Structure 1
């Protein structure tokens, strides 16, 4: 079943278009990064100047965003395209009834949909990472350090989890709605809300409920900013941005406000990988929990659904 689902995805035009768009943005980002990598590395005041291959994913001349910023917008569309018609298209075509008449369990059906999408996504991002490493090696002649490799692997893993959340959410919508167009529009609407409107809503609510920051003490201002950040982290794209930014930029020491007392005595050096993982673990666990929750909801809804035509 997984092989059949993967073949269907590979031969679909919508996946080909999205993969071409992601590869195009990757190529553009790598072109800009390689063109300015020497100036970025020559900046000895930058604590990340030794992480050459991480610079390939983060360095830019401000003409276009870095690749991980592109992914925060494009990865949800990739996940939605892989799952918005997972169940309702099978039922509308009449194949779901014939499939369930065979000795196939419903949970195996859902797992095949989910696993096939993850395999395609994993293959895509692993291939892009290998292209990035090979291009950097050919252009610079500098070998990749183990710490850089582990950070790139972590970046790929977090991106796969991020896409998996949108796949599981779109599968839930494909079970709830009978028409594939309705589930696709609903999933895109949720993506647009979290990407564009969620921050606006949070700012309006905070301004209406909480006091003016101009009249707060330093401790109260820190708690004020913590409340805003925690509310913004409800959005999956904020969790993803925080996680990959911390992994790809070892100089990031905190994802929240830091007082001068906390910075006293701090050495301006890159954080070890273990410390960066400890910083982003709440974000990663949040995305994993959201993915597991959506998949559990899809399983519960599908097990109770009447599939006879």
Structure 2
């Protein structure tokens, strides 16, 4: 009897040790739910079509771009695949500036209110599950799915480029493409965190979706118009006044996540970019157009990346605060 009892105790302790954490169980459940939903399949098809279109256009003109002796970035073949266009379609990073908010909003606008409307939120909270684990699983699962998708597309681009051109990718290009993937994931994460916050604030999923789309349209369409109206133009056309005016406008534009994303992607994918703001003729004197090292590009792009991370953290912190204080019974 003692041997049987010891065997049962050892089996129960082994089962307890190998039992997965509830957080990772919820993450796997959320990922499976996203993959099986028609919403994600439509978004996936849209991203694949835009990726294929922009890369096809870049491939058709890559020979002329590489042979252009005036382009300091002509040797970065795989970065050119993400930035080259002939005018019919924008490059892929411009597409992501438009599609990233749509993906983030679509994956998070009904994260909490749909659970409460369907009555499943009360059932989940009846289990030994913490509220913060539930909220974090919603965010982590969607972000992991987006990051995996973007990394897969980057690997497909590199593999296709090697098969078509026969040119091996350089190590610096690999690091820049990985940094671009991380930056895109953070950018989508901001809109995901904002949409989850709105799904906690509003009871109806349609209200949270419309509010998130309205915020996106405001920053995309109307924000620059408002800045042009409120910032007084320079009375004198001297170089100092023009530079001061452009810096004021640019600093206000950088309150928009899309402007931060544009600045950061431009610096990472175009190594010859040396400054993201207006510069004087004295600063340009003697400058030779040449690519910057990766470290210098990261130093330029770090404020934009920090701003996106800070904005995403603020949205998630506000979601955490509101969700922890929310009444979910009934």
Q: Which bin holds the TM-score, normalised by the shorter protein?
A: over 0.9
List gaps (5 residues or longer) in structure 2.
1-25
Q: Which of residues 296, 299, 304 is equivalent to 2:317?
A: 296
> Is 1:251 aligned to 2:288, yes or no?
no
Q: Partner of 1:21 in structure 2? A: 46
**Which of these two proteins has the greater Rg computed from alpha carbons?**
2
Query: In 1, distance between residues paired with 2:127 and 2:164?
Result: 54
1:217 shift after superposition: 3.1
> Is 1:195 aligned to 2:220, yes or no?
yes
Greater relative contact order (CA < 8 Å, ≥ 6 in sequence): 1
Query: In 1, distance between residues paired with 2:85 and 2:264?
Result: 19
Query: In 2, distance between residues paired with 1:219 and 1:213?
Result: 10
1:216 shift after superposition: 4.6
Q: What whole-Å deviation, never above 9, does each CA across 1:274-307 have from its counterpart, x for those lacking one?
A: 1111111110000000000000000000000000
Corresponding residue SS for 1:117: helix
> Is 1:241 aligned to 2:266, yes or no?
no
Query: In 2, distance between residues paired with 1:110 and 1:15?
Result: 20
The alignment yields a C-alpha RMSD, in angstroms, of 0.8
Query: In 1, distance between residues paired with 2:210 and 2:61?
Result: 39
TM-score (norm 1): 0.97
**Structure 1 segment 126-275 matched on structure 2, within 5 A:** 126-206=151-231, 210=232, 212-275=233-296
> Is 1:61 aligned to 2:61, yes or no?
no
Q: Partner of 1:99 in structure 2? A: 124
Query: In 2, distance between residues paired with 1:259 and 1:275?
Result: 20
> Is 1:37 aligned to 2:58, yes or no?
no
Q: Partner of 1:306 in structure 2? A: 327
Query: In 1, distance between residues paired with 2:239 and 2:289?
Result: 24
1:224 shift after superposition: 1.3
Query: In 2, distance between residues paired with 1:178 and 1:102?
Result: 23
Q: Partner of 2:15 in structure 1? A: none
Q: How many residues align?
A: 305
Using the TM superposition, name which of 260-269 and 299-308 deviates more. Answer: 260-269
